[in-house]
Amino acid sequence: MRLPPTLAALACALGSAAMTSSAAPPANVYDAPLKGVFEKRERDWRNGAIVYQVLPDRFAPAADLDAKRHLYPAPKILRRWDETPRRGTYVESARLWSHEIEFWGGDLKSLAGRLDHVQQLGADVLYLNPIHLAYTNHKYDAFDYDAVSPEFGTRDDVKALAKNVHARGMKLVLDGVFNHMGRNAPKFKDAEANPKSPWRDWFYFGPQYQSGTRTWWLAENLPELNLENPAVREHVYAGRDSVVRRYLRDGIDGWRLDVAVDIGFEHLHGLTQAAHAEKPGSLVVGEIANYPKEWFPAVDGVMNFTLREIILRTADRRMTPALAMQMTDRMVRESGIEPMLKSWLMLDNHDTPRIATALPDETQRRLAQVLQFTLPGAPNLYYGSELGMTGGGDPEMRAPMRWDQVSDANPSYAWTKKLIALRKAQRALRVGDFRLVTSQHLLAFERHTDRARDTVIVVANPGAAPVTETVMMASSKLMNVWMMVDQLTGEKVPIVTGLLDLTLPPGRVMVLVPELSPGGGYSAYKRVQ
């Protein structure tokens, strides 16, 4: 029916108001229970945040390295920034591997000087690997949690960094290594030497242990803390002046917990409650490689190794798309969408080969990266991987940042920024629910809220041959014969009674959103949100 011009203009205005007004009533009875749910998720910075991970020693060289050389006494070595880490030899005097005590000279002040890069990339959270006083370059062997390693700076530098990060609209998360300390920690050395030491019960001693002490995974440099001892818990997280609470008072916004799976449900829950009591809305993310179900609310989120493995195995064709989607759907249903949104989804980090090395085929790598930015979770970017930096096993993946490669002419850098912009533009990718799109041979899912305009349909062909297939979208609000638009290429695909007819070449991914108003002053979405 053709409306008179004045009525057409009114209908267009009313339709636009219905699509944009946050006060609009629910579109149907099924939306009523969802009213306010997604708005609440958006107000929580932890949901769907983009996390940028930095090794302080390797991110940016200090302005005056000569002035710092005394901080790296032998057998420690200070390397040139253009040197690549290599697997070393065992140093008997230090009882460590030589590559654990080779440094590149980065610190908190030099990091602060490069925050423009992190901000302009689009990160919401800056996550630092451990900065506590310790002997090694990686600092997972803490001597004193209350002190910052002098190679990196001081507690005042942490406070200054937090203020700088906050001024840029970002959050700061530190790495908490609370399952174990370092063998040369003063508390442990006193406890080891003196059975009557006040620190004796902070650790585990006995002939049943290989080295006379319980150490993490038999690594002699990492004696485990006795978290069953109330005094240890008081120091780490339970006390008003505990490590966890004091750093939050210093301005940090959360903790990533090293080997959190070894800390266990009970102590993790206590730590998380203490963090929330100190700073409501703070984040506790656990390094838990197990299936994530039931680790909540002991932690707010996990480092989602399970979903990472599903993505990598799908991208390099070790897992079928159908099985990948079945696993992902079950994980989200059993774990809950809220914890999944707070869980960090990484493709690489300081313990794994870099993604450019793990997936050298660019098509496969880009497919995996699209999934990282569209599946439920908080994408965790490892410094330099946005540039296409390569690196295999430890310590190659911990090479110093390649600042010479930061350029829009770098295809990896431009691609990463495109994915970040896509995610920021699409509300459902940040805070939306997840459901499957029915398909036989393609990987297909939907991210959605209670508003049709937020819908994102992701369809991928990880296979080696083209796939032509009809997929069904289980969304009652996507309008028949209207178009879905691929946000990666601009290609348009018509909706046919809830179906999409697609032909995808090998490695192709489509990120489809509804075309709400293609022009002409009319929209089929005028009476749905």
Alpha carbon of 344 to those of 262, 349, 361, 474: distances in Å? Answer: 19, 11, 24, 27
CA gyration radius, the chain = 25
* Interstrand relation of 90-91 and 125-128 (parallel, antiparallel or unpaired): unpaired
Report the distance separating Cα 417 and Cα 480, nearest Å: 33
* Residue 272 near residue 282 (C-beta atoms within 8 A): no
Nearest one of 347, 213, 256 to 46, comparing CA atoms: 256
3-state secondary structure of 423: helix
Q: Are 519 and 7 in contact (CB under 8 A)?
A: no
Give the closest residue to 49 by CA, choosing from 450, 306, 424, 348: 424
CA max distance for the chain? 94
246 and 219 in contact (C-beta within 8 Å)?
no
**CA distance between the termini of the chain:** 23
| Chain centre distance of CA 449 | 22
Of 258, 300, 338, 450, the catalytic one is 258
Whether the CB-CB separation of 205 and 192 falls below 8 Å is answered with yes
In the set 57, 287, 338, 386, the catalytic residue is 287
Give the whole-angstrom CA distance, residue 269 versus residue 260: 11
Query: Quick check: is 287 catalytic?
Result: yes
**Cβ within 8 Å of residue 147, ≥6 positions away:** 132, 133, 155
Q: Is 228 a catalytic residue?
A: no
Angle at 336 between CA 461 and CA 449, to 5 degrees: 65
- Among all residues, which ones are annotated catalytic? 258, 287
